[in-house]
Amino acid sequence: MVENANRARGVELLLAEDVEFLGKQGDIVRVKPGFARNYLLPQGLATVATEHNKRMVETHRVRLAEIAKKKVAEIKKMAETVSKYSVTLEANANSEGHLYGSIVGTDISRALKAAGYPVEPEHVKLDGPIKELAMYTVKIQLHPEITTEVKVWVVPAASE
């Protein structure tokens, strides 16, 4: 019974920013009046959870979800076009096909960017550097849920 009385005395706030150990931006939380009055409200971390504010946050969440959905659809479309493309990289190699250097994610990303695909080096997932002339299938992770593959041809550099 005492716990219910304490809970009823709490203040309901809408978080304007992420607050560690309390919640994320847009969450509605119940805190003690002193915490709200002395910390959250003066710091601008929260605002009083009125019905109007709750509706505004909900419409904002819906809008953000729509934007995220469109972005994922664009990324999926780009992943399909990237998977049809193959990268050819020239590298200096000895007669057995071993590279003098190595091919890393940055090299593959640079080649994809030159072809018009906005793939960053951190999107390229290699098990290790490529050190031999051959054809490789490399994973490209454009989004946590979207992974595609691209063929990478490592060929000997043209000698002059």
Q: What is the pLDDT of residue 135?
A: 93
Contact 145, 76 (CB under 8 A): no
Distances (CA, A) of 63 to 17, 49, 58, 74, 107: 18, 20, 9, 17, 37
Q: What is the pTM for the complete model shown? A: 0.66
Chain segment 128-152, per-residue pLDDT in tens: 889 999 999 999 999 888 999 999 9
Average pLDDT over residues 102-112: 92
pLDDT tens by residue, 23-76: 998 888 999 999 999 999 999 999 988 899 888 888 988 998 999 999 999 999
Coil vs helix vs strand at 99: strand
Q: For the residues 78-98, what does the mean pLDDT come to?
A: 90
> What is the set of domains in the chain, with CATH numbers?
2-72 (3.40.5.10), 77-156 (3.10.430.100)
